[in-house]
């Protein structure tokens, strides 16, 4: 089916939610809105004269107005309820959203993306109430949970975690990092079709997330159904962080793109699993049942008493020991390893310095610095353990297939992970050494590329330092067209890139400058003025030479050009990385070189994505 894809902005809508994640109360432009439409919005799409399907914007706008909904919300809910797929913004990357309860709708995700059918999806909910309703036989709202709040004293008032539905191991994690870029692996509700699991015959779990982006959360809540939403791009390409990225990949394949500007985090969510059968286990010793019921011992009992249940533990009958599954990060992302372990170690009323990449984490209800907190044992898949079965039948995306790759070849310089190459946070000779080493290797590698280009050869493996950086090379025999190299690095300028001027030209873009934001949006957006389309607009098709002619100053003398993208820190590298890979493709570079970072903090997620995107790994130090 071919669509006339429209892009609808949300910039004129101020959205906020009521406190807590138990339920979703939505305010748009200061007014509380009805979470459910007063009239049906599952209106059919219409066929126009160009044999393309499009949204009946006029009719849907009229229906949405009855609930005081802005058009972007009405159009989104209409498409979702009509079993169509749309692109929505989230705090991580743009997602391709479909009704997770509809096999028909979810199948369209796989078709539009060209996604392998065995690659599972993450399901997004708007509240804990929506999440737990999925586990009820009727899949309806739970009247017995309507007055329950996580803020209440759990000793006197049961909560969602005492409903024998949600594993207690996740309670502390969810209280801190939801809504936000955190995904947890839960038992599969019967209402979720197997296609969401990648048609797996061995897995019986589903990955769930509660996003913090107000637009995404409002759309999910007003649809009244959970949303399956992988990244809104063609499978294998860099994830989209702008509506323009989505339009470039999926124009004509989906009816609607909701534009809320650049994704704040720019990296997908962290996926944590604490219940799957293939996880490593830990022996907690003999369980003293009396400790569970003796209130006098409450303060002294191990913290894991608050975390174990039938989902993540069992009793070894041979010795009566409690065996618990060890929590694992399956895919690093917007919440770092350090943030989770700091949560486990903190005893303050707030999380301290641990904030998610997208902003400040909320206050915790309780903490314990007890070493028996199972989150102190957190491990990372691929680093602390691996399992062939998990990769063959993954429980979450990002475990099996090559991802995030632009059209150009990507070479990744990987620093010694005992060092930190974020030069803006370094001081002293010792801390500057890693940066100097990676700078030296970068120059060597660029000169090697030049050398091979001169000889019209292709680099198949990382090259040693075979060229003296001080030597000069003749460009007389270099054929046209010129060779373009993209370089992404954490630096304040490119003066350190000491290349022979007669052979190279260097053009630098500072990603922190306002002009770069304009460049990132490619050729801009053309508004459509129509009586019933309000602020709807369509993105123009980007011509092959449009961006290059505006951005790169070509020289006839220098046949090799290096385009340098400066980022100021790890954080800005993470939030800009996918955009930079796409932008380098728009420039038409032959190869993209990325200076890697250390694995601490957000670096683990950044390097995870870059390792998957690159085909050439160059180890430094």
Lowest mean pLDDT among 33-47, 106-120, 326-340, 566-580: 33-47
Neighbours of 227 (CB within 10 A): 29
For 305, list phi and psi in degrees, rounded to 5. Answer: -60, -30
Does residue 301 sit in the same domain as residue 421? no
Lowest mean pLDDT among 146-160, 331-345, 360-374: 146-160
- Smallest CA-to-CA distance from 444 within 606, 221, 593, 247 is with 593
162: pLDDT confidence band, cut at 50, 70 and 90? low
Could you tell me if residue 598 is inside a domain? yes
Does residue 241 sit in the same domain as residue 156? no
Output the CA angle 208-214-218, nearest 5 degrees. 75
- Name the domain boundary from 221, 238, 264: 264
Does residue 465 sit in the same domain as residue 332? no
Above 50 in pLDDT, residue 53? yes
Could you tell me if residue 580 is inside a domain? yes
Neighbours of 25 (CB within 10 A): 14
Does residue 496 sit in the same domain as residue 577? yes
Does residue 415 sit in the same domain as residue 380? no
Could you tell me if residue 192 is inside a domain? no
> In the block, which residue shows the tokens 């003025």?
529
Above 70 in pLDDT, residue 577? yes
Length of the chain: 621
Could you tell me if residue 318 is inside a domain? yes
| Structural domain boundaries, residue 27 | 6-126+210-264
28, 13 contact by CB (below 8 A): yes
Collect all residues with Cβ–Cβ distance below 8 Å to 319 and sequence separation of at least 6. Answer: 286
Structure tokens at 57: 């914007």
65: pLDDT confidence band, cut at 50, 70 and 90? confident
Average of pLDDT values for 276-288? 88
Average of pLDDT values for 289-313? 70
Above 50 in pLDDT, residue 27? yes
Does residue 516 sit in the same domain as residue 420? yes
Q: What is the mean pLDDT of the chain?
A: 80
Cα separation, 424 vs 405, whole angstroms? 28
Could you tell me if residue 323 is inside a domain? yes
Cα separation, 436 vs 423, whole angstroms? 9
Does residue 255 sit in the same domain as residue 110? yes
Does residue 378 sit in the same domain as residue 276? yes
Cα separation, 254 vs 190, whole angstroms? 28
Q: What is the pLDDT of residue 542?
A: 38
Cα separation, 466 vs 485, whole angstroms? 19
pLDDT, one tens digit per residue, over 217-227 is: 999 999 999 99
For 167, list phi and psi in degrees, rounded to 5. Answer: -60, 130
pLDDT, one tens digit per residue, over 512-556 is: 887 777 665 543 333 333 333 334 554 444 333 334 433 444 444
Does residue 472 sit in the same domain as residue 430? yes
Lowest mean pLDDT among 108-112, 235-239, 348-352: 348-352
81, 91 contact by CB (below 8 A): no
- Name the packing angle between helices 214-223 and 71-81 (round to 10°): 50
Q: Which residues pair with 270 in a beta bridge?
A: 182
Does residue 280 sit in the same domain as residue 418? no
Q: What is the pLDDT of residue 422?
A: 54
Average of pLDDT values for 63-69? 88
Above 90 in pLDDT, residue 254? yes
Q: Strands 182-187 and 205-209, how do they pair?
A: antiparallel
CA dihedral 191, 42, 218, 175 (to 10 degrees): -10
Above 90 in pLDDT, residue 334? yes
Could you tell me if residue 142 is inside a domain? no
Does residue 272 sit in the same domain as residue 230? no
Above 70 in pLDDT, residue 122? yes
> In the block, which residue shows the tokens 């198949």?
460
Rounded percentage of the chain residues whose pLDDT exceeds 70:
74
Cα separation, 160 vs 53, whole angstroms? 43
Q: What is the pLDDT of residue 561?
A: 92
Q: What is the pLDDT of residue 14?
A: 95
For 140, list phi and psi in degrees, rounded to 5. Answer: -120, 175
Q: What is the pLDDT of residue 372?
A: 81
- Smallest CA-to-CA distance from 231 within 92, 332, 367, 104 is with 92
Could you tell me if residue 362 is inside a domain? yes
Could you tell me if residue 414 is inside a domain? yes
Helix (H, G, I), strand (E, B) or coil at 170: helix
Q: What is the pLDDT of residue 52?
A: 85
- Smallest CA-to-CA distance from 308 within 167, 173, 163 is with 167
Fill in the DSSP letter of residue 238: P
Average of pLDDT values for 367-389? 82
302: pLDDT confidence band, cut at 50, 70 and 90? confident
304: pLDDT confidence band, cut at 50, 70 and 90? confident
Does residue 307 sit in the same domain as residue 442? no
553, 498 contact by CB (below 8 A): no
Average of pLDDT values for 555-562? 69
* Distance set, CA 296 to CA 293, 299, 305 (Å): 9, 7, 15
Rounded percentage of the chain residues whose pLDDT exceeds 90:
56
Count of domains for the chain: 3
Q: What is the pLDDT of residue 365?
A: 38
Lowest mean pLDDT among 144-158, 162-176, 294-308: 144-158
Q: What is the pLDDT of residue 458?
A: 44
Cα separation, 414 vs 597, whole angstroms? 7
């Amino acid at each position: 089916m071919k669509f006339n894809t429209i892009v609808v902005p949300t910039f004129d809508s101020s959205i906020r939610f009521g406190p807590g994640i138990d339920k979703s109360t939505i305010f748009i432009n200061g007014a509380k809105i009805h979470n459910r439409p007063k009239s049906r919005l599952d209106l059919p799409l219409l066929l126009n004269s160009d044999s393309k399907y499009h949204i009946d914007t006029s009719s849907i706008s009229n229906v949405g107005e009855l609930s005081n909904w802005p058009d972007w919300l009405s159009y989104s809910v209409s498409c979702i309820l009509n079993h169509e797929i749309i692109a929505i913004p989230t705090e991580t990357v743009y997602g391709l959203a479909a009704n997770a309860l509809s096999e028909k709708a979810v199948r369209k995700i796989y078709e539009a993306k060209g996604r392998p059918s065995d690659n599972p999806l993450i399901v997004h909910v708007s509240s804990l109430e929506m999440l737990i309703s999925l586990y009820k036989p009727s899949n309806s709202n739970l009247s017995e949970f309507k007055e329950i709040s996580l803020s209440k004293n759990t000793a006197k008032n049961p909560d969602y975690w005492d409903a024998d539905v949600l594993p207690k191991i996740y309670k502390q994690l969810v209280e801190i990092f939801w809504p936000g870029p955190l995904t947890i692996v839960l038992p599969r509700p019967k209402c979720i079709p197997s296609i969401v699991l990648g048609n797996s015959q061995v897995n019986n779990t589903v990955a769930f997330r509660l996003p913090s982006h107000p637009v995404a959360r409002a759309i999910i809540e007003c649809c009244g159904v959970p949303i399956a939403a992988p990244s809104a791009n063609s499978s294998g390409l860099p994830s989209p962080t702008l509506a323009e990225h989505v339009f470039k990949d999926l124009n004509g394949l989906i009816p609607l793109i909701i534009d809320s500007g650049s994704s704040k985090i720019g990296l997908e969510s962290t996926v944590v699993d604490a219940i799957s059968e293939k996880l490593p286990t830990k022996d907690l010793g003999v369980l003293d049942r009396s400790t569970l019921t003796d209130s006098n011992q409450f303060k002294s009992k191990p913290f894991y008493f608050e975390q174990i249940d039938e989902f993540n533990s069992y009793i070894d009958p041979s010795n009566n020991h409690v065996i618990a599954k060890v929590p694992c990060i399956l895919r690093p992302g917007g919440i770092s390893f350090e943030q989770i372990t700091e949560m486990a170690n903190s005893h303050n009323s707030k999380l301290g310095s641990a904030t998610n990449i997208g902003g400040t984490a909320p206050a915790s209800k309780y903490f314990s610095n007890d070493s028996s907190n199972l989150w102190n044992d957190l491990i990372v898949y691929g680093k602390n353990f691996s399992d062939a079965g998990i990769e063959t039948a993954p429980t979450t995306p990002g475990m099996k297939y090559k991802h995030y790759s632009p059209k150009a070849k990507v070479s990744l310089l990987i620093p010694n992970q005992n060092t930190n190459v974020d030069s803006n946070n370094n001081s002293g000779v010792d801390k500057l050494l890693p940066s100097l080493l990676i700078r030296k290797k970068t120059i060597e590698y660029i000169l090697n590329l030049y050398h091979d280009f001169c000889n019209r050869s292709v680099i198949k493996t990382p090259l040693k330092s075979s060229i003296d950086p001080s030597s000069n090379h003749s460009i007389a025999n270099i054929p046209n067209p010129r060779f373009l190299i993209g370089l992404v690095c954490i630096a304040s300028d490119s003066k350190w890139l000491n290349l022979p001027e007669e052979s190279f030209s260097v053009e630098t873009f500072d990603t922190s400058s306002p002009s770069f934001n304009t460049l990132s949006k490619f050729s801009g957006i053309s508004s459509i003025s129509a009586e019933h389309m309000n602020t709807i607009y369509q993105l123009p098709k980007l011509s092959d030479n449009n961006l290059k002619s505006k951005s790169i100053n070509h020289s006839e003398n220098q046949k090799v050009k290096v385009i340098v993208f400066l980022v100021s820190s790890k954080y800005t590298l993470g939030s800009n990385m996918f955009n930079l890979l796409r932008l380098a493709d728009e420039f038409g570079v032959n190869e993209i070189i990325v200076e890697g970072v250390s694995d601490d903090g957000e670096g683990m997620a950044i390097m995870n994505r870059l390792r998957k995107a690159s085909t050439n790994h160059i180890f430094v130090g």
